[in-house]
């Protein structure tokens, strides 16, 4: 699928290449934990009470895959990881607000908001940080429950 990327889930969650307990001496120290992630166009913007992340796919197959992932993972912690040259630049865990996922005709829209002023400021600060990372050329990956659901090559 030309509109998807291969991502290593372990490096996204901070687990690195840790050896699982119980691995025998003959087993490789690192077992890849790869997943195909739909490639999309991602837009982040501030809104009243927080921020809105819009993911759009041109390819109908990638769009359906992303929407299915979002539907399955909805309700889990929402986070965005920004990567540059294979290294994580920043990861914003949006735990300080309530995240709501809505399907659109060409993707999905995740709205993270909070009624608390301090939490709203943190969410909007994350929006500013991730927008700056995308403008600088970072790859951004939207995750739900630690599972990548879409990725943007800016």
12 neighbors 139 (Cβ within 8 angstroms): no
> Domain coordinates of the chain in residue numbers?
37-144
Strand partners, 152: 40, 140
Q: Is 22 a residue whose pLDDT tops 50? A: no
Residue with the bigger pLDDT between 101 and 21: it is 101
85 neighbors 75 (Cβ within 8 angstroms): no
107 neighbors 66 (Cβ within 8 angstroms): yes
Q: Is 16 a residue whose pLDDT tops 50? A: no
Residue with the bigger pLDDT between 113 and 72: it is 113
- In the three-class reduction of DSSP (H, G, I as helix; E, B as strand; rest coil), residue 49 is classed as coil
109 neighbors 101 (Cβ within 8 angstroms): yes
Region 121-146: what's the mean pLDDT?
93
Q: Do β-strands 34-47 and 4-8 pair in parallel, antiparallel, or remain unpaired?
A: antiparallel
- In the three-class reduction of DSSP (H, G, I as helix; E, B as strand; rest coil), residue 73 is classed as helix
Region 103-128: what's the mean pLDDT?
94
Give me the DSSP letters along 97-151.
Answer: SEEEEEEETTEEEEEEE-SSHHHHHHHHHHHHHHHHHHHTT-EEEEEETTEEEEE
| Residue 8 banded pLDDT, cuts 50, 70, 90 | low
CA distance 42 to 44: 7
pLDDT reported for residue 69 = 85
């Amino acid at each position: 699928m030309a509109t998807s990327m291969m991502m290593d889930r372990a490096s996204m969650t901070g687990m690195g290449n840790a050896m699982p307990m119980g691995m025998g001496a003959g087993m490789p120290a690192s077992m890849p934990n790869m997943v195909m992630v739909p490639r999309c166009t991602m837009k982040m913007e501030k809104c009243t009470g927080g921020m809105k992340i819009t993911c759009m796919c041109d390819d109908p197959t990638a769009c359906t895959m992303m929407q299915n992932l979002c539907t399955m993972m909805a309700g889990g912690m929402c986070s965005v990881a920004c990567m540059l040259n294979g290294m994580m630049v920043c990861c914003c865990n949006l735990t300080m607000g309530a995240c709501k996922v809505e399907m659109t005709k060409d993707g999905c829209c995740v709205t993270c908001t909070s009624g608390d002023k301090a939490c709203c400021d943190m969410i909007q600060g994350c929006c500013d940080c991730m927008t700056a990372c995308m403008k600088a050329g970072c790859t951004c990956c939207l995750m739900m429950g630690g599972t990548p659901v879409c990725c943007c090559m800016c």
